[in-house]
Amino acid sequence: MFDKYLIDAATLRNTGPADAPTGFAFEARLGYYRGLGLSMVEKLDVSIDGAALPREAVRFDEGKGPLSLDEMEVAYDRRWPFGAPATILVDHAGGFPEGEHELSLLQQLRVSYLPFPSVNSDAKRVSLAG
């Protein structure tokens, strides 16, 4: 339902030194119509051109400081409100590749009243503003 709003392509940026980026970041929104505790986010899979990036390379920050996906599993006191942007940070040597590429995000969420995970995904053709 809200899948097309997950990735905010205009926020894509490299991280680390300008002359030697160590990764990239972008803003994302929750694909579920209510906020969720961070411990209920089971997956945040990031891919470039269909190639999945390692889980260990992905971090999440809803404004209270970055967490690894493993740390999110026990972040019982932190929430991701509906409509609020959060930063997805990805360790990726060289930053986001030059030129236009497909950036994909898959969210798998554990919702208390659903007998199955809520899976939301978005993919956008993006390039870094230069």
Q: How many domains does the chain have?
A: 1
Instruction: Tell me the pLDDT tens digit for each residue of 43-82.
Output: 999 999 999 999 999 999 999 999 999 999 999 999 999 9
φ, ψ (nearest 5 deg) of residue 126: -135, 160
Listed residue (21, 28, 20) closest to 103, CA to CA: 28
**Cα–Cα distance, 15 to 64 (Å, whole number):** 18
Domain encompassing residue 26: 3-126
Strand order in the sheet with 7-15: 7-15, 23-28, 86-91, 58-61, 67-68
User: Has residue 28 got a pLDDT over 70?
Assistant: yes
Mean pLDDT (the chain, rounded): 94
- pTM, entire model: 0.94
Q: For residue 97, what is the domain's CATH number?
A: 2.60.40
